[in-house]
A and B are shown apart, each in its own frame.
Chain A
Amino acid sequence: MPGKPLDPTAMARRAAQELTPGAVVALGPGIPCRLPGELPPNGGVWFLAESGVVGFQGLGVDLNVVDGSGEPVALLPGGSFTGVVNIAGILRGGHTNLAILQPAQVSASGDFVHWTTNATGATGTTNATGTTSATDGLFAPGSAVDMAFGASRVVAVMPHQGPAGQPNIVSQCSLPVDGVGCVDIIITDAAVIRVGPTGLELVEIAPGWTADEIIAITDAPLTLATNVKDMTFEVPELIPPNKVYATAIEALKDVPEGAVVNVDGFAGPGGMAHYLMVGLRDVGVKGLQLISNTAGIARMSAFGAPNIIDHSILVENNQVAKATASYPVSPSASRPSAFEEAYNRGETELEVVPQGTLAERLRSGGAGVAAFYTPTGVGTLLAEGKETRTIDGKEYVLEMGMRADFCIIRGHKADTLGNVVYKGTSRNFNPVMATTARITVVEVDEIVEPGQLGPEEIVTPGLFVDRIVLRPPDFSAYL
């Protein structure tokens, strides 16, 4: 007589053991939506709801704050709201560490068939005639496909068998799949199974079950791990990682030689991360490839006082190998910028990109769009050598998404989780650049506690921000 199947709460608690501090975690409908309620509400991970919520805990009461199942959830201090398109970008753009889904079937190679279920965790649904209507699920991919293809790792949490005793873990899916080779680990009401390169491996067993009993209810071939363990249900303590750095140099000292660095800002000194720029100069790393709206013209454009800090300090320190920019030259031909002079001496490379194309290439890079067709620049020098395509009678040019190693941005305020708000036009390229880099560093006027920035007010959710530094009130020491 096999053991009793685990209840959905126990399955959710086991799934919580897959989380790591600071992880970005997408939850599909059904059992996965139980996870936030099992964890302490300390912002240790970022839960995403496909309805557009970032950072929530267990069940709430506000009908305007719902998870992917449409159930009300409680926003955490530091949680925020964003639209579905931004959620899609977070899923697809490499920002999501883990997707937790409740598929109807998972195959030996990690293919899966998804469909939504009710929150009780029952897979499959029963219509009036008493038969399971699995094919209904083919009409309900929701965001599951986006989650499965976007997340670094996919966890399936599901009953081992369907309501009629049919196996849910199968050699091959019996319905059209929603993802190919996507699932990495399967947590059921009886076992934990790893999806390996050569098939499924039983790694943990629920209380009261034996390996033979689990193999008997699994359609796919199952091998035993060398060290099969008992399933446990302790949830981990997830402390949010510290993001606040003491100085700009501390925050930038691991920028490698030749790094691609996004530098925010428009033209003038506003919205530019001056403190991080001097930090990058003082770190002294060479061969930088800057992506920026200008290549440093604030100093030449009579914006404000002399001794303005812009990209020129990096150029003059011989750190810049290339700039990708929309406005790389000084507006005054008689007063060239430091970058122009270096370019004219043959010391730097330059890639000129129209501003909207630059913004769109960055947005695409951050949102996991490999390439896009834009009408901008068709027939001009800027389209030379690029593919063109006529869509609905209009000609477009193919432009590539663009990503960076590091990004330095300038916010007005940040909370310690990394949520950022901006001020006026200093918003400029900051929010889009923040989505494109492996490591994003923000400099702000004020650092506050989570919950002190309004959830409707947050522009850059903290999941995009890795490091925070406080901007000094005075720069005389850095000139």
Chain B
Amino acid sequence: MTSETENPPRQGKVFPSGLAALNGITDGASVLVAGFGGCGIPVKLLRGLAEIGVGNLTLICQGAWPQESGKFGIADLVAGGQVKKIISPLPFLPDNGGPVKELWEAGKLELEIVPQGILAERLRAGGAGIGGVFLPTGVGTRFAEGKEVRQFDGQDHIFEAALKADFALLRAQAADTLGNMVYQGSGRNWNPIMAMAAAVTIAEVDQVRERGGLDPELIITQAIFIDRLVLAS
């Protein structure tokens, strides 16, 4: 769900603000949000979503548990009523449900629980043009309910469909102006795979370097996957 009604000021792929970089996002959009625990979360872009006030979002992410006090996170978007659905392996922590659990219990939020490896593989399939995959994970459990089961080499496998989204919000350590990116530590997490699986990919980065400023052997995400860049605060 995108609209291309505005052309905000920018230099190449580099946008001046989170708001400008989120241009075109509309109600009902599906959005991939990278991050694991406190690592690799695009906080500025999440704040931008709150500021725009876009609603009915479907978020696909590791989880939406409350961040440390003072840090903005997905849970704040949920608390603000902007989120219709979350697809995640761990939408809230069992000992810290926060707004996600509250709104889900009140019937105001849908949750689709997907084991992490299945979600990663569905996104990879979406990004790599694969229609779907047969995986051994979750056979005989609630995660296989209603899905096609087929045997390969005598073992049951479950059909999992590819997954793509309208937008991806990423967080990287550095990008060059073309959009090639490197990450730091566990900050890599979902970023490279989500970069491939969205129609519009927006990355929030600590540094923007000139072309050639990143070692070609170290680049993890190629520029062809990145549409927009914005500097983290």
Given contacts A64-B39, A85-B192, A92-B117, contact A141 B89 (CB under 8 A): yes
- Binary contact readout B84-108 vs A (1 if CB under 8 angstroms, 0 otherwise): 0000011111110100010000000
Tell me how far the C-beta of B93 lies from the nearest C-beta in chain A, rounded to whole angstroms.
6
* Chain B 42-96 interface residues, beta-carbon cutoff 8 Å to A: 62, 89-95
Are the C-beta atoms of B36 and A66 separated by less than 8 Å? Answer: yes
Instruction: Tell me the bound Cα distance from A363 to B94 in angstroms.
Output: 34
Are the C-beta atoms of A66 and B91 separated by less than 8 Å? Answer: no
Residue of A at shortest CB range from B140?
A: A180
Are the C-beta atoms of B132 and A115 separated by less than 8 Å? Answer: no
With a cutoff of 8 Å between Cβ atoms, the chain A residues found around residue B188 in the complex are 52, 81-83
Are the C-beta atoms of B121 and A139 separated by less than 8 Å? Answer: no
Residue of A at shortest CB range from B101?
A: A136
With a cutoff of 8 Å between Cβ atoms, the chain A residues found around residue B133 in the complex are 364, 369-373
* Chain A 94-136 interface residues, beta-carbon cutoff 8 Å to B: 115-118, 125, 133, 136
Tell me how far the C-beta of A98 lies from the nearest C-beta in chain B, rounded to whole angstroms.
17
Instruction: Tell me the bound Cα distance from A150 to B142 in angstroms.
Output: 17
Are the C-beta atoms of B97 and A136 separated by less than 8 Å? Answer: yes
Partner among B90, B131, B157 whose Cβ is within 8 Å of the Cβ of A140: B90
- The yes or no answer to B128 lying at the interface (CB within 8 A) is yes
- The yes or no answer to B28 lying at the interface (CB within 8 A) is no
Residue of A at shortest CB range from B35?
A: A51
Residue of A at shortest CB range from B113?
A: A139
Interface size on A, residues (CB 8 A): 69
Q: Which of B94, B125, B183 has the most CB of A within 10 A?
A: B94
Are the C-beta atoms of B189 and A118 separated by less than 8 Å? Answer: no
Are the C-beta atoms of B120 and A84 separated by less than 8 Å? Answer: yes
Are the C-beta atoms of B111 and A369 separated by less than 8 Å? Answer: no
Tell me how far the C-beta of A124 lies from the nearest C-beta in chain B, rounded to whole angstroms.
9
Are the C-beta atoms of B93 and A140 separated by less than 8 Å? Answer: yes
With a cutoff of 8 Å between Cβ atoms, the chain A residues found around residue B37 in the complex are 51, 66, 70
Given contacts A85-B121, A369-B135, contact A141 B140 (CB under 8 A): no
Given contacts A49-B186, A70-B37, A83-B191, contact A176 B94 (CB under 8 A): no
* Chain A 358-416 interface residues, beta-carbon cutoff 8 Å to B: 360, 364, 367-375, 389, 391-392, 394, 396, 400
Are the C-beta atoms of B136 and A368 separated by less than 8 Å? Answer: yes
- Binary contact readout A264-290 vs B (1 if CB under 8 angstroms, 0 otherwise): 000000000000000000000000000
Instruction: Tell me the bound Cα distance from A367 to B125 in angstroms.
Output: 12
* Chain A 119-163 interface residues, beta-carbon cutoff 8 Å to B: 125, 133, 136-146, 149-150
- The yes or no answer to A456 lying at the interface (CB within 8 A) is yes
**A residues within 8 Å of B by Cβ?**
49-53, 62-66, 70, 75, 81-85, 87-88, 91-92, 115-118, 125, 133, 136-146, 149-150, 176-180, 360, 364, 367-375, 389, 391-392, 394, 396, 400, 421-424, 455-457
**B residues within 8 Å of A by Cβ?**
36-39, 62, 89-95, 97, 101, 111, 113, 115-118, 120-121, 123-125, 128-143, 152-153, 155, 157, 161-162, 182-193, 217-218, 220
Q: List 10 A-B contacts (CB under 8 A).
A: A65-B185, A66-B39, A81-B185, A81-B188, A92-B135, A139-B113, A140-B89, A141-B113, A141-B115, A394-B131
